[in-house]
Amino acid sequence: MQGYLSLLKIKRLPTTWCPGCGNGLVIKALIQVMESNNLNKKNTVIVSGIGCVGRTTGYLKLDSIHTLHGRAIPVAEGIKTANPKLNVFVVSGDGDLLAIGGNHLLHASRRKTNIKVICVNNRIYGMTGGQASPATPKKTVTTTTPKGNEFEEINTQAIVTSNKNFFARSTVFHLDHLKKMIKKSLENKDFSFIEVISNCYPGYGKKLGFTSNYEMLMDFKKKFENQKNKSILKKNELGFLK
């Protein structure tokens, strides 16, 4: 197993995240890929938006920028366009990237800017206490949908792939797969979007009847399967489209 301490700010631990949160797993996977692919302090910048996942930038020993709510993608585009040699990662959540940042996602994917967007999708606004996000499934009870969410969840995959960009789906349970997907995205020179399904027990899982973060991870194990056809990626499948 590779270490992942070189880029982690050990002094800042423990993180502000709840025990069992998937965000830590995403950091681990990201750092391990960075180490194996020679992405380092010299050539890599990390960008995040607002929300729980947005705090990621603070735990990495890389030049990082904590941006406005929803605006991580345009800030990343600015960095990449002005300095194309840099590898630019965006790490943020579903509320940030898909709701308030939805328009920017649309246009960055149209421009095909070579940035890697890692969207940690816990299907809820975790930091503000569990409001519905665009990724919250229909009928889910949240603090802003007390009688169940009346809308369908957003189809991010369709948005990203409509411009023939790289889209991958993984979960925080399938760490090796997640690393593979991040590596795959590095081969791609266009806009890349990796949706990482994550767990938020206090904000989301609790209301669905789960009793712990562990149970939520086990649920990912049960629900998701590997992609069967290279040209199709179903909602419950792990894999990528290019």
Partner 1 sequence: MKQKKQLIKGNHAIGKAAIEAGCNFYAGYPITPQNELTEYMAKHMRLNKRPFVQAESEVSAINMVFGAGAGDARAMTSSSSPGVSLKQEGISYIAGAELPCVIVNMVRGGPGLGNIAGAQSDYFQSTRGGGHGDYRLIVFGPNSVQELYDFTMKAFDYADKYRMPVMILGDGYLGQMMESYIPHKYEPIKNLPKKKWALTGCKGRKKNIVKTLYLTPENALEEHNLKLNEKYKKIQKEIQMYEKANADDGEIIVVSYGTASRVVKNVIEFFNKNSKKKIGMFRPISLWPFPATALRNLKCKKFLVVEMSMGQMIEDVKLALFGKKDVTVNLIKRPGGMIPTEDEIKDKIEKMIG
By the criterion CB under 8 A, which residues form the site for partner 1? 50, 66, 68-70, 95, 99-100, 102, 125, 127-129, 131-132, 134, 143-147
The CB-of-142 to partner 1 minimum distance in angstroms stands at 9
In this structure, the number of other CB atoms found within 10 A of the CB of residue 145 comes to 16
Query: Among residues 146 and 231, whose Cβ is nearest to partner 1?
Result: 146
Query: Among residues 128 and 212, whose Cβ is nearest to partner 1?
Result: 128
The CB-of-96 to partner 1 minimum distance in angstroms stands at 10
Contact 207, 140 (CB under 8 A): yes
In this structure, the number of other CB atoms found within 10 A of the CB of residue 148 comes to 13
Query: Among residues 69 and 112, whose Cβ is nearest to partner 1?
Result: 69
Cα 166 versus chain centre, distance: 14
Query: Among residues 114 and 144, whose Cβ is nearest to partner 1?
Result: 144
Q: What are phi and psi of 121, to 5 degrees?
A: -100, 100
The CB-of-204 to partner 1 minimum distance in angstroms stands at 14
The CB-of-66 to partner 1 minimum distance in angstroms stands at 7
CA distance 16 to 52: 9
Query: Among residues 69 and 207, whose Cβ is nearest to partner 1?
Result: 69
Contact 164, 238 (CB under 8 A): no
Which DSSP string do the residues of 48-87 spell out, in sequence order? Answer: E-SSTGGGGGGGBSSEEEE--TT-HHHHHHHHHHH-TTSE
